[in-house]
Amino acid sequence: MLIGRISQFLIKRSIHISPRLNQAMGIDGNTILAESLKKQGVEYVFGIVGIPVIETALAFQSAGLKYVGMRNEQAACYAAQAVGYLTGKPGVCLAVSGPGLLHCIGGMANAQVNCWPLIVIAGSCPQDHEGIGGFQEWPQVESSRLYCKYAARPPSPRLIPLHVEKAVRLAASGRPGVSYLDMPGTLLMAEADEDKVPMDFYNAPPVALAHPNPALVSQAADLLAKAERPLIIVGKGAAHARAEDEICKLVENTKLPFLPTPMGKGVVPDESEYCVSTARTQALLKADVILLLGARLNWMLHFGQQPRFAPDVKVIQVDISPEEFHNSIKSEVAVHSDIKPFTAALTQKLAEKKFSLQPASNNWWQGLQQKQKANTEFVQAQANNKTLPLNYFAVFKAVQANIPKDSIIVSEGANTMDIGRGMLLNNKPRHRLDAGTFGTMGVGPGFAIAAAMWCRDYAPEKRVICVEGDSAFGFSGMEIETMFRYKLPVVIVIVNNSGIYSGFPKDVMEDIQSGGDITQCTPPTALSCEIKYEKMMEIFGESGHLCRTVEEIEAALKKALAVTDKPSIINILIDPSSNRKPQTFNWLTESKL
């Protein structure tokens, strides 16, 4: 068996492997944990091993779980939550004790704020060493509670299945989030009689979808039908709810304009004639009734407040979590429901009213279309500008034109992510992964690894395109080794402006740094100029691509996409001062204090 060969190899390397994995008399904590996860439908584990979880990872593989060894616990945590979003089943992040778990905290917070299902399992100090300075001793359960829906340490091997079931159920049910399980080395090595371990502790059918109050559906339909300037906002929650068919039908039947949030893109295709993303500011500012489907009125939607929204706007808020209602403004109609049944019921109600806008004659639609035309002309002018060094728009036009349709787009960085959101199209749901609600940097490579693993198993025809700013890539760039080790054909596109937000040309940077103490004269937003990130490929005996022109970008993408068993890096040097389109408002609604 593979597990036996790996164990023997590790024993020769003086790494202790418990003989209990194969004992017939009892079953140890590692095996109980692995089998419990398997029985609860968990499929993927991402992690980094060390004391006391080396045997745990081996037990996971023996049980049939897919284990991906990463280079950093944060990246492992990002990968596990992304695979949870893509599959609907929690991914697992496995970490060692103390610092290993603490490295996961950023990822746990990101999943909790992003509402993605995740289970973090960390080894911890042996229980008989607690309180006397044990190796990597840390109050791990207490430290995790702030970032979780559920955090616990099973008191005995026999109760591991109970806590695994609860961790999986709470991570995935209602508003998804994080569960943490603490596994002391003594618990993982402890034995129990196999016939006394309730491995099938609890395995209920999926929780039934929450259906809306019919009276609230009628109120929502009446409000939309009477509106002069109605708008739908489609959020990440709708993508997680797998509500794309119902929402597409609603939009097609009613011809209502819609805006997707960043990871709501693709629930209704970006190329739909009813998508008004290119007139986002005007759509938000002028709408008199807004239907929120799985989106929150947080900073990403400017809290639903003035000056970004009309003072008298009426909001129909649909959410699986009633705690979300009325957080920043009072909603006119607040519907506690899953998105799918609500949208189906609303579509039926509006059909009964024979409600449908006519874009060719509707004043609201005509105003939006005029704004779309003006904004599109600006973007096209920028995208057609091939003057060197290139700007963001020209880069993204070349990328969009040369990647496979319906690729999964992973994106992070400031301008890289924001400008790319509008130019890299998604026509399928859950095909965009970015910094998300928490605005977390460093998520890209981990998300891309998760997406590539999902593609390998469920959609082998798809490609993963990971578009990174040079600053963003620096957070987790060594995960390129993970991609090589697992033969994942991720195409990494680095949009390199030599800075955070913006950088400086090489000659200017040299002049600035010659002016005195380098720590005081180097601009905080500056990075080293024209770094050759593509040369990281040479570590693995491969070649990357350095691009300055559109033609070089096109050639590099063609070569990278021809590779199906390893990643590629395309490093595109752009104008350090390149920026987005001037905005009517500040990107973030100002505080009123």
Q: What average pLDDT does range 581-586 have in this prediction? A: 68
Mean pLDDT of 26-41: 96
Give the CA angle between residues 141, 88, 207 to the nearest 5°.
85
Is residue 3 scored above 60 in pLDDT?
Answer: no
What's the pTM? 0.94
pLDDT in tens, 469-523: 999 999 999 999 999 999 999 999 999 999 999 999 999 998 998 888 999 999 9
Phi, psi of 184 (to 5 degrees): -60, 150
CA distances from 453 to 36, 87, 101, 460, 537 (A): 22, 11, 23, 9, 21
* Structure confidence at residue 10 (pLDDT): 54
Torsional sign, CA 120, 121, 125, 127 = positive
Q: What is the pLDDT of residues 414-436, one digit of tens each?
A: 999 999 999 999 999 999 999 99
pLDDT digits (tens, 9 = 90+) for 93-113: 999 999 999 999 999 999 999
Q: How many residues does the chain have?
A: 593
Q: What is the pLDDT of residues 242-298, one digit of tens each?
A: 999 999 999 999 999 999 999 999 999 999 999 999 999 999 999 999 999 999 999
Query: 90: closest CA among 7, 26, 184, 168?
Result: 168
Q: Is the pLDDT of residue 4 over 80?
A: no
In contact, 459 and 438? CB cutoff 8 Å? no
* Contacts with 541 (C-beta within 8 Å, 6 or more apart), sequence order: none
- pLDDT on residue 24: 47
So what's the pLDDT on residue 199? 78
Each residue of 358-405: pLDDT tens digit?
999 999 999 999 999 999 999 999 999 999 999 999 999 999 999 999
- At 206 the pLDDT is 74
> What are 36-53's pLDDT values in tens digits?
999 999 999 999 999 999
Please, are residues 580 and 419 in contact by the beta-carbon 8 Å criterion? yes
pLDDT at 565: 97
- 447 phi, psi to nearest 5 deg: -60, -40
Cis-peptide, bond into residue 90, ω within 30° of zero: no
Distance CA(575)–CA(391), nearest Å, equals: 6
Q: What is the DSSP letter of 121?
A: E
User: Whole-number mean pLDDT of the chain?
Assistant: 93
Contacts of 142 (CB under 8 A, 6+ apart): none
Q: Which residues pair with 182 in a beta bridge?
A: 122
Burial of 550-587, coded b for 16+ CB within 10 Å and e otherwise, reads bebbeebbeebbeeeebbbbbbbbbbbebeeeeeeeee
The C-alpha atoms of residue 266 and residue 279 are separated, in whole angstroms, by: 17
Please report which helix (H) or strand (E) contains residue 249, including its range. helix 244-254
Asked whether the beta carbons of 181 and 153 are under 8 A apart, the reply is: yes
Q: Do residues 46 and 11 make contact, with C-beta atoms less than 8 angstroms apart?
A: no
Q: Is residue 545 within a helix (H) or strand (E), and if so which, with residue range?
A: strand 545-547
How far apart are the C-alpha atoms of 328 and 288, rounded to whole Å? 17
- Whether the predicted pLDDT of 16 surpasses 70: no
Pairing type for strands 191-192 and 27-28 reads antiparallel
Predicted local confidence at residue 584, as pLDDT: 63
Q: 233-242: per-residue pLDDT in tens?
A: 999 999 999 9
Helix (H, G, I), strand (E, B) or coil at 101: helix
Sheet holding 150-152, edge to edge: 66-69, 44-47, 91-95, 118-124, 178-184, 150-152
> Which residues on adjacent β-strands are paired with residue 290?
231, 315
